[in-house]
Amino acid sequence: MGERHKAREYALHGLYMYDTVGSSVNTILSLSWIDEEIPSDTKEYFTAIVKGTIDNLPKIDELIKKYCINWSFERIAAVDKAILRISVFGMLFETDIAPAIVINEGIELGKKFGGENSGHFINGILDAIHKQELSKK
């Protein structure tokens, strides 16, 4: 498994903790909740994802809400919300990564950590954001 993928998994867990139990950014970034050795490249990318996502949360959540058709933002499962947030961050701010790759990563995280339909749900929202928002740029 690639180091960037692993960093995204850690970011998913960290943002889940941020949203559900109110863990502080410092606690999340400390990675003290991980019981394994983490390579420095993975830590750096994890930190960039978490900080970038939290720093841009209002803009990211606004986009998710806009494309969350027939579904209340508040009803999105916390895991799916965390995946959507890091994926939207990736599409908007990580210009060195193709949106298709970010969307695929989001879908895979949804299949692995989310519910039965998470992959489809995440794909629908991310694809709509990509087509409607990113194509305008």
pLDDT of residue 137: 57
Q: Where in the chain are the domains?
A: 3-136
Enter the DSSP assignment of 114. Answer: S
Residues 90/105, Cβ–Cβ less than 8 Å: yes
Residues 43/50, Cβ–Cβ less than 8 Å: no
Task: Tell whether the model's pLDDT for residue 99 goes beyond 70.
Answer: yes
Task: Tell whether the model's pLDDT for residue 136 goes beyond 90.
Answer: no
Class of domain 3-136: mainly alpha
| Averaged pLDDT for residues 39-61 | 95
Question: Using H for helix, E for strand and C for coil, what is the string for 35-89?
Answer: CCCCCHHHHHHHHHHHHHHHHCHHHHHHHHHHHCCCCCHHHCCHHHHHHHHHHHH
Residues 60/92, Cβ–Cβ less than 8 Å: yes
Record the pTM.
Answer: 0.93
